[in-house]
Structure 1
Amino acid sequence: MRTSQRWYVERPTCEARTWVTERIEGDFDLIVEAVGGTVFGQAIEHLAPHGVVVSLATQDEEQPITFRAGWYSRSPGARIYTLNNFDEPSSVAADLARLCNLLAAGRLDGQIELESSWRETPAVIEALLDRRITGKAVLHVD
């Protein structure tokens, strides 16, 4: 919600957390989930075969994640990733190196529209939220 040029995020109620996922129809190849708990479980249920769900965060580390196993088992090859997969960095190193090489060679466009000092973070966030920039913003630590 925006008030007097300030942004804040309200912690959603249980009802608000599931409002979107209760209305989802169909299956998806990629789901990026950042709520956890019930929403994470519902995301798992909507994976397409060979789909991937990436969990970025959870609001309550003690809340169990449940899902209907039959819904997940109908998605052969589906994978679940979380940011706490400590073995991931070594397995993605080659992929990251390839992306860096493509960027350096000019064969991949990183869609960076704005570069600024980290000291300008509030202005950069406003530009993103106001959709004055459509690409990525990079903040340099100086």
Structure 2
Amino acid sequence: MKAFIPTWDPAEPVVLADVPEPVPRPDEVLVKVEAFSVNRGETFKLERPAPGDRPGKDIAGRVVRPAADGSGPSGVVRVVGHPMAGGWAEYAAVPSGALAVLPDSVSAVRGAALPLAGLTALRLLRAAGSLIGRRVLLTGASGGVGHYVTELAAASGAEVTAVTRDAERGARLAELGAAEIVHDVADARGPYDVVLESTGGAALPVALARLARRGTLIWFGQAARTPVTLDFFGFFDGPESAVVRHFHYLDADTGLGDDLAVLVRLTAEGRLHPEIGRVADWADTATVLTDLRDRRIRGKAVLTLP
């Protein structure tokens, strides 16, 4: 079959190659991939790939071989899946617990845009706790995660301030429920009960200073790709009893498949809107990856297979 493999060349980070079709484990299903999405974090990993790496975590397609152990879908059905690798290919082996059935009302393109960004947003907001009536500051809001966080948090009753340098993206985030748009975290007025910080670098201490008493900052990304320096003496002089928490989306008490099903249901009901900045044929994957890495795409990027 055909699949994308790393090249170690920043100008063309992947190339289409012939590879063996995956052999599913007993608890995996074989999916014929119809669409996959790429994430900016994956572009960073492609800068230093390990030998044998097969990228790709977000897919949508059709089950062509059910799991041998009887778990997961038993027939040929449309699904969205979140394998840990190997998704940028004609076929992917996906653990039966890491997929959800797609209804006819949700296209493969929209389904493929859900897994990594949607799971991150859903689990991030669960980590933040009840948001009814709480003030939330979200940095790096222009990306795929930011759009989902904004819409879900606003629907949960939060007053969201979204940070984005892009005026057009800011207008869209306001449509999704953001109460206020600022173009620099330094312009956020605060104080905020919850800060969701995805930028790192110089932005994190600025965002931290805007916490309310007993507020929580959840650090879930490092988009700036520069080290963070925190003055803990200044922190102790700041908001009383504040909390700084690290977050990783795979550290959750719920299953991937269960949470994917939640995201699919919300999308089918028109309560969650995948923000897709580009849809292209999978032949253009290398170009899309460099454009996403260099911030020429806002929202999700989805590639479709013939």
- TM-score normalised according to structure 2 size: 0.27
Tell me which structure has the larger Cα radius of gyration. Answer: 2
Higher relative contact order (CA 8 A, sep 6+): 2
Say which structure is richer in helix: 1
